[in-house]
Each structure stands twice: as structure tokens, then as C-alpha cells.
Amino acid sequence: MARDLKYTRNIGIMAHIDAGKTTTSERILFYTGKTHKLGEVHDGAATMDWMVQEQERGITITSAATTAFWKYNNETYQINLIDTPGHVDFTVEVERSLRVLDGAVATFCAVGRVQPQSETVWRQADKYRVPKIAYVNKMDRVGADFFAVVDEMHEKLGANALPICIPIGSEDKFAGIIDLVSQKAIYYDQDCKELVNYELKEIPAEMMAEVEEWRGKLLEAVAEYDDRILQKFFDDPDLITEEEIIAALRKATIDMAVVPICCGSSFKNKGVQFLLDSVMRYLPSPLDVEEVKGTDPQTDAEVTRKPSASEPFCALVFKIATDPFVGRLAFLRAYSGKLDAGTYILNTRSGKKERVARLYQMHSNKQNPIEFVEAGDICAAVGFKELRTGDTICSEGNPIVLESISFPDPVIGLAVEPKTQKDLDKLGVALGKLAEEDPTFTVRSDHETGQTVISGMGELHLEVIVDRLKREFGVEINQGAPQVNYKETIRGTVQHREVFKKQTGGRGKFADIIVEISPADEGVTGLQFVDQVKGGNVPREYIPAVEKGFKSAMANGVLAGFEVPALKVTLLDGSFHPVDSDALSFEICARMAFRHALPKANPILLEPVMALEVVTPEDYMGDVISDLNKRRGQITNMDSKSNARIVKAEVPLSEQFGYVTVLRTISSGRATSSMEFSHYAELPANLAKEVIEKSGGSKRFDEDDE
């Protein structure tokens, strides 16, 4: 019998670093009876942080999935939970998790409030239209302020944040919460290790006025969504039932019109059960989500699939992981239909059939075998040969391609080499597996030096990769200094004629093209190729070869060999030889034209600029700002939050290496910082000269590429 999807919740926990995501996940596992011992992050014993690197650092690196069950309203609900990282270097994990989830719990620290990474994950959730409920954690800490978080959510996130409970006391006096819907006070016993560690009481008299104020705001927001409630709201608000409020609030949350907010302290075991109830109440089941849209690969027509087991099967692969015991695991979110273990499916990217050997339900890094997976479920599969992150798999007779996942480009590189010959073979295999797992991690060979360069999203990201190479794959490596991934572009426009002629006895090579090379139009990435050849001067069959030549040449710019991300090439004219011309001649001719013309078009280097946020006590403000000025930083905003100052700045990545250590030194360890990639900007001429000289300059292009 098919499971009722109404009782399934696919949710993720997302937040800034240190807001308490993993601790909240641990409590959810404990209260749902999945684990019988509370795992703590600071002890390195959290179930969801299973990697050695996570336990040592006390941070989440990889998103871990698990399944738990929760009883609500006498029904058992299945929760597929994904705990995501908060650190910006691992933003890809959040991106791919949100792509397949139906709802998210955005966790905020009651002291830190809305932090930069909170804004990033919030935007990611909005991008994939994921409904959210907010959870304000750490209400027991000094400086905790629930209502300040609500205000900041309105200001910084533009969210219609709506408290559904308010705290009883705060800091060390935080005793519990008042449920504004049922109008009951819930007092928690933090020392009680039972599953029910709370009792319901009447609302304290001194808090009645505050409760009425916030309940009024809640009813007002809900009344906009339900005409019946609106009528009662004007006649007699006391007649509005609890069920009516929940139904209207659920509808508003799924429509992303409001964000319900609850609060608690996960570490002190307060407020987690209420959060679970709220997830069941307000977040969507797979049935509440719109039917999934995709395209038919054969006709490019739009196709839809309803979230039902009777529909043809389709699923999205959102993550590839390597397990030492079972091999390559492909994490899937099934959107429609049913998939049995041992059957064949179609991979629409490669167009090949693949066999699903086994299916597993995941619990962190452990696998529980299951016979089949149905619409709305999340599982892991084994047996695939060619699956990648973002692939769609479906039943053979009903092909569909779902929207893939977009990933940011890596910004920082590191040269690595194996210590011994024995490590050489192992290194290639290990890097291949890691690049498969993580789309923001890339491996390339530098043509000039022959070095292997690995690139990622930040220093921490590469540090974890190097650590995994040692521990998981047993590869010892030497590593060079981190390198910034610069890019190249042009500011001018140039017309150029390139003739490629080669005679070696017998059939020769000949191609002749006239092109105009200019900066790409606004918002265009990659090669923008325009064909304006008249009268067949360049035969039709050779024009794709010209385009291909320019496209391949863009991987290595003319200044220092960095990628050219965008370029406009207009093919104006040319000529050919009836015997000697072929596609390869025109491709080589295009590559030569790129190398000869670009130096005349005012080429410049671009560098990645990071958005940095520093939170510092007032005393160290001057030192922090003067240090940022030294690093070519531009201050964009300064703000105060209780007794700390917040400095926002844009700083080039090349100046940021080792910044965390310097900041600790100048602020006696009291300031914190977080940064994320912002944009590419022009590198000043004196620094560009250094980078070009270091890379061997333009001399590599002096010889013709024949």
C-alpha cells in the first residue's frame, strides 16, 4: 500500500555559523526517538557531524540526511531531515539541499541575530521558492533578544516575520514559551532527560498584556488569508478556533507570505518539541508543493509530473558521496512515481540506461536498505556508473529533464604534488572522486608548469580537501601557497584579419577570417558569437569550427593565461581554398586570431572581491579599519549592535589570506569576521604587472600555435 504523502516532511535546517543547526538536529533526533543519547557538537559526538574533520573543528562540512518519525495529532509523520553547513566555503551543500527540499527551518542566534550567512541562505531558499519557519535559538545566552531578531528579519531579509510563540524570560531566566495559538504557557525542565520534559500551565498574569498584543498581530495577519477569520476578527476575536488559525497560517506559510517564528534553546532542551509540532503544522508536504515542471529531451516541450506514486518515475540527483564500504552513493529526491531496487532507469543527461542495484534510507553516514522509493521521498542509491550532481533520472518510456542546480565558480587555487611515486596514481583517483562529490571543487593541470592545481571556495574548503586526501585516501602531498583565480577581459574593440597558411607537400592548410572582437553585452557569459558572412565567402560548414576555436581559446587569456569569462566575436568576412581548407584549419585560424587580436583590445585582469563583515568591540574599531585600508578594502557600511560595532567592507581576495589570524591578534581574540564572494573587479595596473610577470607573462604566446 502506498504511503500517504500528506504525512511526509522534507525539511532542512539552514543558518549562519554557530547558530546551533547541528545541536537542533541532534535534539530532533533525540525527541523523535531516533537516538537515545544526546550528541553534543563541542564533544565531537554529534550524530549528524560524522566526518572526523567536522568533529575536530566543531563545524558542519557536508550536509547529512536522516529520517525520523514524529507523532502529532495522533498521526505519525515521517521527517526527512537534512542538516546543512553554515560556513560560506560549503555554500554548495546548502544550495543543493534547498533545491530538493519542500520546507526549511531557518535558525537564528538570539544574540548574533541576522548575520551575513543568514542572509545568503535566506536568498538561496527564496531562489528555489522554499517556504520557511524561523527558529530563534540560544535564548538562554547573555544578550539574547527575541524581538530584536524579529525586527532584523523585517529589516534585513524583508520577511513578514510572525511570532507564533513568545519567550517567558530570557538569558538565564529563560524558562519556556507561550504558544500564541493555543494560549498556553509551556515550561521546560532542562535537566529532565525524558522525551516529555515540559508541562503546560496557564499564562502568567504579568504577561497577559504582551500576549494579547502579539496574538492580535498574529490574528490580523492570518485574517488577511481567510475571509471567515476576517469576519470573526471584527465580530468577536475569541470565537476564532485554534484549528482555523493553524489552517490559515499553514496556507500563508506555503504561499511564502509569512514566516512563523518560534524560539527556544536547543542546548538546554527547550522549545524543540514545539518546533517539531510547528514543522508538521505549517511546512508543506510533497502534496502541497506545485507539480514539478521539466522538459521532454526529445521535443523540448514542457512536461509536468504530479507528486504521486501512480505517475511515471522521475527524480533529481542532488549529491554524490563516496562511502568506503558501499562505493558511490547517489542521493535522490523522487518527485513522482515509484522506483524498485534492481530495476533500470534512464539518465537523461547521458541518454544511457543505468541499473539501480540497491536503495538505502540514510541516517547520517549509515545506510538502511529499503525495497523501493516513492514520490516525495529522499534516499540514496548504489550501482550507478555515470551519475553526476544535478542529473535527472526517470523511467525509460517517459523521459523528462528537471531544472538542474547552479553552482558558483571556485575563487581560490592551490598547487599540489604527491610526495612519492606511489602517491602519484592514488592522487589522480582521489581528486577525481572528490571533484565528483563537490561541484565547487575543480582540478586542472597547468600547461606551463605541469602542476596540478586544485580550486575551491575558500581557504577552509581547500584545507578540508587536503585533510581528506590524507585520511580517507592515504595520499601524502606537498602543497604550494594559495593562488587567487583571476580572470581576464577586454575593454576595447578591435578588427583583425588572420590568415593561416601551411604547405607541407600534398594537401596544405588554408583559412582566412576577418573578425571584430569586443566586450560581451551586459549580462552575457561565455562566447557571444555573431555570424555576418555574406555570399558564402566562408562556407557554412566551417563557421562552427571558427566558433569552436574562439571558445577553446578563451580558457587561456593573453595576459597571464587566466580564463576569459565573456567575449563577443563577430565574424565579418573571410575566404577559403577549395582544396586546402577544412574545419581544422579554420579552428586553428580562430585560435591564432584570438591570440594576435586580444593584446590590441586593451586586455585587463579581473580579481575576485569578497564581501566582508567584521563584528568588533568599539575599542578595536580604529585598528580594524586601518588594517582593512591596508588591504585595499572599501568600507561600505558601519553599524552598531548593542555594544559591538559592525563593519561591512569589500576586500580583494588576494589581500585576505590569513586575515582571521591577524584579526584575532589586533582585537585580542574578541572580533569575528565572515566573508563571501561578491564580484570580480579590475586589478590595479601595478599589481596586474606583478601577476603577469609571476605567471611568465605573455611570452608563452609568442610562438604560433600550429
Please, which pLDDT band fits residue 488 given cuts at 50, 70 and 90? very high
Q: What is the pLDDT of residues 502-523, one digit of tens each?
A: 877 677 889 999 999 999 988 8
DSSP type of residue 407? -
Q: What is the mean pLDDT of residues 578-601?
A: 90
- Distance from C-alpha of 254 to C-alpha of 182, rounded to nearest angstrom: 21
- Distance from C-alpha of 369 to C-alpha of 356, rounded to nearest angstrom: 13
Q: What is the mean pLDDT of residues 86-115?
A: 78
- Distance from C-alpha of 84 to C-alpha of 38, rounded to nearest angstrom: 19
Number of helices (H) and strands (E) in the chain: give both, helices first: 16, 37
Return the pLDDT at 702.
41
Q: What is the pLDDT of residues 553-565, one digit of tens each?
A: 998 888 888 889 8
Q: What is the pLDDT of residues 113-164, one digit of tens each?
A: 887 677 778 877 887 888 999 999 988 888 888 888 899 888 888 888 889 9
- Distance from C-alpha of 663 to C-alpha of 624, rounded to nearest angstrom: 7
DSSP type of residue 619? G
- Distance from C-alpha of 312 to C-alpha of 284, rounded to nearest angstrom: 22
Q: Kindly tell me if the per-residue pLDDT of 91 is higher than 60.
A: yes
- Distance from C-alpha of 152 to C-alpha of 66, rounded to nearest angstrom: 31
Return the pLDDT at 447.
65
User: Please, which residues bridge with residue 346 across strands?
Assistant: 353, 394
Q: Residues for the chain: how many in total?
A: 706
pTM reported for the whole predicted model: 0.69
Any idea which residue has 563583515 for its cell? 613
- Distance from C-alpha of 469 to C-alpha of 435, rounded to nearest angstrom: 12
Question: At 389, phi and psi to the nearest 5?
Answer: -60, 130
